[in-house]
Amino acid sequence: MRAPILLAIEDLTVSFDGFKAVDGLNLYVERNEVRVVIGPNGAGKTTLLDLICGKTKATSGSIRFRDTELTKLAENNIVKAGVGRKFQTPSIYENLTVRENLQLSYPGGRSVFGSLFFKVTDKVQSRVQEIAEEIFLADRLDTSAGLLSHGQKQWLEIGMLLIQDPELLMLDEPVAGMSVSEREATADLLRRISKNRSVIVIEHDMDFVKDIAHRVTVLHQGKLLAEGKMDDVQKNEKVIEVYLGH
Ligand SMILES: Nc1ncnc2c1ncn2[C@@H]1O[C@H](COP(=O)(O)OP(=O)(O)OP(=O)(O)O)[C@@H](O)[C@H]1O
């Protein structure tokens, strides 16, 4: 039996001055699935994530997350609905410690009065500890984020999303610039994360894709070119022609 669908994208199109960056796309992501989106430069991968998180508004079509239509929601309400997005460049506060970065990301941590008035309760402390362990930074809690390695910064940013407990997490090239051991640790992290949430990853590193993907979606010119298990997608002649063969 297949798992229930968490995200249902239907006939999604966005047009920039007549150019369709995403063109009539249908895509369904199950609960607890790791879906990797691949495809050549300009295929529409980043635009797809921009549409889901509300950064870009669709020209037509629908994005349903559980029972909520996301195309009608503002970006902050999409976050509140349970969709977290990590961009390619880390957006951590380099002059704050790992602990402070995580505390700030705790829901309600960034109040209208700023972090100064935020009360760090035992509940917040234990959640910060739990997340720090999950992202391999438990022994770095009091280190300034700016002193972390590139890979550790990426993990911290994933942790800042995890502390908000999203049901859907979207990551744009999470292992770019990471060492081999950091890539392996990240694959392990994503496998653990997806035990109780869905993850959409854009990635060009095929070894990493093979390691983590439950299913792969291949985009080309804004359209779906192929979809399925990595083993099958890799053998697909159209995919080899436009992407993997290059
Ligand atoms: N705001 C915008 N206005 C105009 N064109 C845009 C806009 N955003 C994206 N595009 C165009 O849409 C196409 C798809 O871009 P997108 O960044 O989604 O591709 P991608 O698959 O993520 O590529 P890459 O692998 O290089 O990151 C590109 O041709 C890009 O120039």
CA 200 to chain centre: 5
Q: Which atom of ligand 1 is nearest to the CA of 50?
A: 18
CA 214 to chain centre: 15
For tokens 């854009």, the residue is: 202
Give the strands of the sheet with 215-220, arranged side by side: 83-86, 168-172, 198-202, 34-38, 215-220, 223-228
Q: Which atom of ligand 1 is nearest to the CA of 173?
A: 27
Going from the Cα of 42 to the center of ligand 1, the distance in angstroms, rounded, reads: 5
| Nearest-angstrom CA–CA distance, 140 and 71 | 39
Residue pair 11/24 in contact (Cβ under 8 Å)? The answer is: yes
Q: How far is CA 3 from CA 31, 32, 242, in A?
A: 6, 8, 31
Please give the pLDDT value at position 110. 61
Which residue, judged by its Cα, is nearest atom 5 of ligand 1? 16
Tell me how far apart the terminal alpha carbons of the chain are, to the nearest angstrom. 37
Q: Which atom of ligand 1 is nearest to the CA of 17?
A: 4
Interval 182-189 mean pLDDT: 96
Of 33-37, 122-126, 172-176, 183-187, least confident by mean pLDDT is 122-126
Interval 21-40 mean pLDDT: 97
Going from the Cα of 22 to the center of ligand 1, the distance in angstroms, rounded, reads: 9
Residues with CB under 6 A from ligand 1: 16, 21, 39, 41-47
Going from the Cα of 222 to the center of ligand 1, the distance in angstroms, rounded, reads: 9
Q: Which atom of ligand 1 is nearest to the CA of 202?
A: 22
Output phi, psi for 72, to 5 deg: -100, -5
From 20, 38, 45, 217, mutation site for ligand 1 pocket: most ligand atoms within 8 A of C-beta: 45
| Nearest-angstrom CA–CA distance, 127 and 120 | 11
Query: Would the pLDDT of 118 be above 80?
Result: no
β-pair type (60-65, 68-69): antiparallel
Please give the pLDDT value at position 107. 83
| Top-confidence residue, 99 or 112 | 99
pLDDT tens, residue by residue, 47-105: 999 999 999 999 999 999 999 999 999 999 999 999 999 877 768 999 999 999 999 88
Mean pLDDT across the chain? 92
Interval 112-120 mean pLDDT: 57
| Nearest-angstrom CA–CA distance, 2 and 24 | 24
Please give the pLDDT value at position 91. 83
Q: How confident is the model at residue 112 (pLDDT cuts 50, 70, 90)?
A: very low
Which residue, judged by its Cα, is nearest atom 3 of ligand 1? 16
* Ordered structural domains, the chain, with CATH: 1-82+167-246 (3.40.50.300), 92-165 (no CATH)
ipTM of the complex: 0.95
pLDDT tens, residue by residue, 189-198: 999 999 999 9
Structure tokens at 78: 């999409």
| Nearest-angstrom CA–CA distance, 94 and 96 | 6
Going from the Cα of 131 to the center of ligand 1, the distance in angstroms, rounded, reads: 33
| Nearest-angstrom CA–CA distance, 161 and 127 | 13
Please give the pLDDT value at position 121. 79
Of 19-33, 115-129, 142-156, 205-219, least confident by mean pLDDT is 115-129
| Nearest-angstrom CA–CA distance, 117 and 108 | 11
Going from the Cα of 45 to the center of ligand 1, the distance in angstroms, rounded, reads: 8
Output phi, psi for 195, to 5 deg: -65, -30
Going from the Cα of 203 to the center of ligand 1, the distance in angstroms, rounded, reads: 15
Q: How far is CA 177 from CA 4, 61, 173, 174, 220, in A?
A: 34, 35, 9, 9, 25
Please give the pLDDT value at position 115. 52
From 47, 202, 205, 220, mutation site for ligand 1 pocket: most ligand atoms within 8 A of C-beta: 47
Q: Which atom of ligand 1 is nearest to the CA of 19?
A: 5
Query: Would the pLDDT of 246 be above 80?
Result: no
| Nearest-angstrom CA–CA distance, 240 and 165 | 37
